[in-house]
Chain A
Amino acid sequence: MPGPYPGVVVRVHSESCLDTERDQANMESVRRMVSAGMKSLTGAGSDHDAWTRFIAPHDVVGIKVNCSGAPRICSAPEVVGAIVENLTAIGVPANQIYIYERFANQLQTVPYAKFVPPGVTIWAAEESRGTILGYDPHTYVECNFFGEEDTRSNLVRLVADKLTKIINVPNAKEHQAAGVTGCLKNIAYGDFSNVARSHQYEKTNTYSFIGTLASVEPVRSRVVLNIMDALRGVWHQGPFNRDPRFRFYPKQLLIGTDPVAIDHTELDLIEAKRKAEGAVSLWDRSRSHLGDNRDPNMNHFIREPGHIEYASRLGLGIYDSSKIHLREIEL
């Protein structure tokens, strides 16, 4: 990261990609969105040429999904299925493809297996919640936020030991502590243990911790592509989705190699939605807005959307709006 296309974000919108009444994605529309986005990003004339810019048949590929709002809001199995189709089409054997997430209890609520061929591994770092066995004891970030005894956040073993490439598939969601959760947070908090300690209290440490984790090797160099699933979104009470009032349907994919540029685009998307709903800005830091977040003007934390700009200062991508090249595709 930020890869070969810093500052480039391809936004693909398709009105037909999602039946919001049935909350059902349209697989064929999703395929077309992925295809159009990948070809636009790379300038390639075919899907094969587009995908082989990033992945070779010998690669062991991890697809980092996000299931923290599952089953309603998660990396849609249709999107993940379309990605796997492209990987196998360029010659990556199914048994070299891993769909992974930290928590098994969340991952198991999403029917990924129905959308991918046999042989693809669906893997969670924590089969039982809290176990450290799915993490590499030798790769960690150590810091003490609030006097917690366990000061290490360790990298997922699968990433440390096996994967050669990672495709990051986050969602577009407001996050009560981080402001939004997108590419950066999915690859940071989704690849390391013991991260909830950064946001135990109203004032959190998400501002710097997200970018710090995302910049750790080998994470930084193995994430070669970000495909943000914004078919559905959450504009409040994220990253979960317990209250349907705060769900919305952008019907988009945001594709690129630059996680900062994509997350800035996502931030604008969710900020605009909140504004349209009459909710306070994601940038609001007023303590008078701390409290019961069933009210969209209230929150449990002081949000830190500045974590995206901070990540840009770590070299992870382009934050400056004037330097972000947003390519819009309407299907």
Chain B
Amino acid sequence: MLLVAAALPLLFWDAGPSTAPALRDAHIERIAVPAAQEAAWKGVAGIVVQAADVGRLRKLAVPSVEYRPDQASASRAPWIQSNGWEFVRAPGAHFYYDAPGKAAGLAAAEAFSYGADALIHTDAAGLQYFAEMLAFLRGIERLDLPPLADIAFQDDGGDTAGEVLNLMLRNNLLVRAAAAPDPKAKLNVRLGSAQFPLETAQDPAAMAHLVRSALGDDHRSIRIYGTQVVLARVTAGGGRLRLALLNYDGARRKVDGLHVRALGRFPKHTGAVAGGAAQIDDYSLDDQATEFTLPELKTFAVIDLSR
């Protein structure tokens, strides 16, 4: 099973060596640059440089939320631009973000959550946010835990399956791509089966709801209450559960409180919250689950639960 290596994302920087002081001020010590600039950067003190051809990388969306109040929709839930499905579909691939401004920090956090190999290009305004997030990520204990998935999704690699995968992850349904049915999974999903017909999949949101119903909320390893813009990436093993919580609207506003229910009894917890105090409230255990409140989430938090 794939282990999440929790690699740190790398800044892709296409400005010249004259910008090196800004990078040093931001404590950026490694960058990727266009091949044409590699020579110019060689020898710049304090910065390790590698060349990258971003044209060969999978380009990702800017992590964000679009409210689209002017568009009719089957749901009033905001539209989350998440790349989770890309990482789940191709976990060994190499990725590239073009994330200006505050989104650079969100992109770094998203890539880290999935242990993705990602380059992040940003602008001068985004350098600070990327650097702050990178500093935060450096402080996170490395845990090589496998992703936790309730659903094994037989991904045919097509557009429809990709969008269904996207909608499931955007609804905090923990899913992994599978080549064949997994008898250990709580739920196996194959588009085109009698239970999950292709006609329903033409509306990926409807299919995601169908999958959710088939799984049952009580069987979901993670539930998030109080916000529609926070998605969780969960890894688990050896009596530990790691929740990476990303506020996709973090470039605009913080979330004033969210409540988490995680299946399993975990009496111990630690947490790290980017840009804020690692405060966890209302911590409680019932027969089946652990619950807690995170009183504030600006962009990203990593919560470790253990037995």
* Cβ of A133 under 8 Å from chain B: yes
- If A147-B75, A149-B228, A200-B76 touch, whether A137 touches B256 (CB-CB below 8 Å) is no
Q: Within the assembled complex, what's the spacing in Å between the Cα atoms of A144 and B216?
A: 11
- If A132-B258, A149-B228, A150-B226 touch, whether A137 touches B217 (CB-CB below 8 Å) is no
Q: Are A149 and B171 in contact (CB under 8 A)?
A: yes
Tell which of A128, A138, A150, A200 touches B225, judged by Cβ atoms closer than 8 Å.
A150
CB nearest to B260 among chain A residues: A137
Within 8 A of A (CB), among B185-243: 209, 212, 217, 224-228
* Cβ of A292 under 8 Å from chain B: no
- Residues of A with C-beta under 8 A to B212: 147
Q: Are B209 and A147 in contact (CB under 8 A)?
A: yes
Q: Are A138 and B282 in contact (CB under 8 A)?
A: yes
CB nearest to B282 among chain A residues: A137
The interface bits of chain B over 36-53 (1 if a CB of A lies within 8 angstroms of the residue's CB, else 0) are 000000000000000000
- If A138-B284, A148-B77 touch, whether A132 touches B226 (CB-CB below 8 Å) is yes
Chain B nearest CB from A300 CB (Å) reads 14
- Residues of B with C-beta under 8 A to A130: 226-227, 256
- Residues of A with C-beta under 8 A to B77: 148-149
CB nearest to A133 among chain B residues: B257
Tell which of A128, A138, A200 touches B256, judged by Cβ atoms closer than 8 Å.
A128
Q: Are A132 and B76 in contact (CB under 8 A)?
A: no
* Cβ of B293 under 8 Å from chain A: yes
Q: Which of A133, A144, A152, A194 has the most CB of B within 10 A?
A: A133
Q: Within the assembled complex, what's the spacing in Å between the Cα atoms of A128 and B171?
A: 24
Chain A nearest CB from B213 CB (Å) reads 8
Q: Within the assembled complex, what's the spacing in Å between the Cα atoms of A128 and B256?
A: 8
Q: Within the assembled complex, what's the spacing in Å between the Cα atoms of A138 and B291?
A: 9
Q: Within the assembled complex, what's the spacing in Å between the Cα atoms of A149 and B260?
A: 12
The interface bits of chain B over 269-307 (1 if a CB of A lies within 8 angstroms of the residue's CB, else 0) are 000000000000010100000010101000000000000
- Residues of A with C-beta under 8 A to B171: 149
* Cβ of B82 under 8 Å from chain A: no
Q: Which of B77, B171, B256 has the most CB of A within 10 A?
A: B256
- If A147-B209, A148-B77, A150-B225 touch, whether A132 touches B217 (CB-CB below 8 Å) is no
The interface bits of chain A over 92-133 (1 if a CB of B lies within 8 angstroms of the residue's CB, else 0) are 000000000000000000000000000000000000101111
Q: Give the interface size bracket for B toward A.
A: 20 to 34
* Cβ of A151 under 8 Å from chain B: yes
Q: Within the assembled complex, what's the spacing in Å between the Cα atoms of A33 and B171?
A: 53
- If A132-B293, A137-B293, A138-B284 touch, whether A149 touches B257 (CB-CB below 8 Å) is no
- If A130-B256, A137-B282, A200-B76 touch, whether A149 touches B172 (CB-CB below 8 Å) is yes
- Residues of B with C-beta under 8 A to A193: 226
The interface bits of chain A over 281-304 (1 if a CB of B lies within 8 angstroms of the residue's CB, else 0) are 000000000000000000000000
* Cβ of B259 under 8 Å from chain A: yes
Q: Within the assembled complex, what's the spacing in Å between the Cα atoms of A137 and B209?
A: 25
Chain B nearest CB from A159 CB (Å) reads 16
Q: Within the assembled complex, what's the spacing in Å between the Cα atoms of A132 and B76?
A: 19
Q: Within the assembled complex, what's the spacing in Å between the Cα atoms of A132 and B291?
A: 14
Within 8 A of A (CB), among B30-68: none
Q: Are B228 and A133 in contact (CB under 8 A)?
A: no
Chain A nearest CB from B276 CB (Å) reads 14
Q: Are A133 and B293 in contact (CB under 8 A)?
A: yes
Q: Within the assembled complex, what's the spacing in Å between the Cα atoms of A147 and B291?
A: 22
Chain B nearest CB from A5 CB (Å) reads 38
Chain B nearest CB from A129 CB (Å) reads 9
Q: Are B172 and A131 in contact (CB under 8 A)?
A: no
Q: Within the assembled complex, what's the spacing in Å between the Cα atoms of A149 and B76?
A: 11
Tell me the B residues contacting A by CB distance below 8 Å: 75-77, 171-172, 209, 212, 217, 224-228, 256-259, 282, 284, 291, 293, 295
13 A-B contacts (beta carbon < 8 Å): A128-B256, A130-B256, A131-B257, A133-B293, A137-B259, A147-B209, A148-B77, A149-B172, A149-B228, A150-B224, A152-B225, A194-B226, A200-B76
Tell me the A residues contacting B by CB distance below 8 Å: 128, 130-133, 137-138, 144, 147-152, 193-194, 200
List 7 tightest A-B contacts by C-beta distance, closest first: A131-B256, A132-B226, A133-B257, A132-B257, A137-B282, A147-B209, A128-B256
Known: A130-B227, A149-B172. 16 other contacts (CB 8 A): A128-B256, A130-B226, A131-B256, A132-B225, A132-B226, A132-B293, A137-B259, A137-B282, A138-B282, A149-B171, A150-B224, A150-B227, A152-B225, A152-B259, A193-B226, A200-B76
